[in-house]
Structure 1
Amino acid sequence: MKKLNILLLCLSLSIIACKNEKKETKTEETEAIATKKFVVKPEATSVKWTAYKTTEKKAVGGEFTTAKFEEQSGDTPEEALNNLSFSIPISSLFTNDATNTRDAKIKDSFFGSMLDTEFISGQLHAENGKYKATLTMNGVTKDLPLDIKITDERRVSLTGTMQLAEWNALDALAALNKVCFDLHKGPDGVSKTWEDVAINVETYLREN
């Protein structure tokens, strides 16, 4: 009987120890999930834009090859993006123009006609599933509504349409159209540069 009691006691202690071990493992896993943070990767971010010329509204694409972010993390992708401050150097503008003249014209005539020509800066905001960028350009700060798509909790796509008039940039647009007058003519002989610019930002969130 004594041996049986000792055996039962050992068995009970073994079961309790096993349960405690499983509980500790589960707690560790829960804590790991709870402490997982999402952080925007600047090196995995692209800022592309599409402008338009001629009365036929022919697309002209380009990008900014550099985007700088203040370091920020969040428990969810939305938290990582909300209130995220950024700046984009104008010098990083690139259009892959074969003649190697378009970039200089945009930098000198368009952005060169503005105030604060070194950076475009701003902050992302998220509220009730809606996103916007509070964007500062040409000394003017305005909100740019954005559509967002998040896949796999990590890949983020933000799209919107910028109306240059809202940033008092029509004089700068006219200066650009002047140096590109013949290049912006369509079959009708009219030279035109449109004031709406499509914006497409792609980024990737890493787990921290």
Structure 2
Amino acid sequence: MKNVIISALMVMSIGSSLYASAKSGCELAQVGAVEVGWIGYKTNEKIGVGGSFESVAYTPIVKSGENFRSILVGSTVVIDTASVNSKDKGRDEKLAKFFFGMMSSKNINAKIVDIKADEKVKDAPRTGVVSVEIEMNGVKKTVPMKYSFSNDVFEAKGTIDILDFGASKALSSISEVCFDLHKGKTWSEVGISFKTKIEAILCSAKPLELTK
């Protein structure tokens, strides 16, 4: 009788382990495009002008993984600055020629190098800080960006200073050509952001049936 009880407990234990393994088989995957946004500021009142880039080449470190760190850290983007889009053709032409055109490279390269999650709060979006290494005008800087994750959308926002990237020439150039529109003031501070869709996959696995 004792042996029967021990055998039954072993079967139950193995069954529970297999069920847990199947149930925890969920993975995360970044799907779709990565959208990169920016917002610049003009005039003494610091009026914001925002936009995006139409050409963003994203290379994920892996196709899927168990958490944000595994699928994001090491992933890279290459941004073609000529694809700048502020929904104003004239402004975009000036930005491409008199701002980005004054830099050493037409591309901005970025790489996610770290991510740290905040403590979980029940029924609230997941939040934390993602560190992004940005290379612009031949200068690399690691920038912290606060992220939030809700409804399958991962979005991060941060701030850079153009002067930190040795781009005083570019800033002076765009300031001069837009002097009247900017009322003599173009800020070196620029808000940056990116967002992408992250979905849970492989979550429909069923417990293995030990009777077969």
Give the match for residue 37 of structure 1.
27
- Provide the residue aligned with 2:186 in structure 1: 193
In terms of Rg, which structure is larger? Answer: 1
1:58 and 2:47 correspond? yes
Q: Structure 2 vs 1, CA of residues 111 and 56 (structure 1 numbering), >3 Å: closer, same or farther?
A: same
Per the normalisation by structure 1, the TM-score is 0.76
- Match for residue 68 of structure 2 among 58, 72, 77: 77
Distance in structure 1 (CA, Å) of the matches to 2:65 and 2:77: 16
Is this contact kept in 1: 2:157–2:194, CA < 8 A?
A: yes
The sequence identity of aligned pairs, in percent, is: 28
1:162, 1:198 within 8 Å by CA — same for their partners in 2? Answer: yes
Query: 1: CA distance between counterparts of 2:84 and 2:28?
Result: 28
- SS of 2:24's partner is helix
Matched, 1:120 2:116: no
Q: Does 1:150 align with 2:138?
A: no
Distance 1:200 1:67 in 2: 13
CA offsets, 1:64-122, max 9 Å, x none? Answer: 1232221323211232111211111112210011xx210010011100000011x1112
**Uncovered stretches (5+) of structure 1, i.e. residues with no partner:** 1-15, 186-190
Q: Report the Cα offset of residue 183 of structure 1.
A: 1.0
Answer whether contact 2:136 2:165 (CA < 8 A) is retained: yes
Q: Which residue of 1 aligns with 2:167?
A: 169
Counterpart amino acid of residue 47 in structure 2:
K
Q: Secondary structure at the match of 2:29?
A: strand
The offset of 1:131, in angstroms, is: 1.8
Q: Is the 8 A contact 1:121 1:135 kept in 2?
A: yes
Cα distance in 2 for residues equivalent to 1:173 and 1:40: 35
Contact 1:42 1:68 (8 Å CA) reproduced:
no
Amino acid at match of 1:176: I
Q: Which protein is richer in strand relative to its size?
A: 2
In structure 2, runs of 5+ residues without a counterpart are 1-7, 118-128, 202-212
Contact 2:69 2:115 in 1 (8 A): no
| Aligned CA-pair RMSD | 2.4
**Within 2, Cα distance between the matches of 1:127 and 1:40?**
15
What's the counterpart of residue 180 of structure 2? Answer: 182
Query: Segments of 4+ in structure 1 off by > 6 A?
Result: none
Letter in 2 for 1:132: S
1:147 aligned partner, one-letter code = K
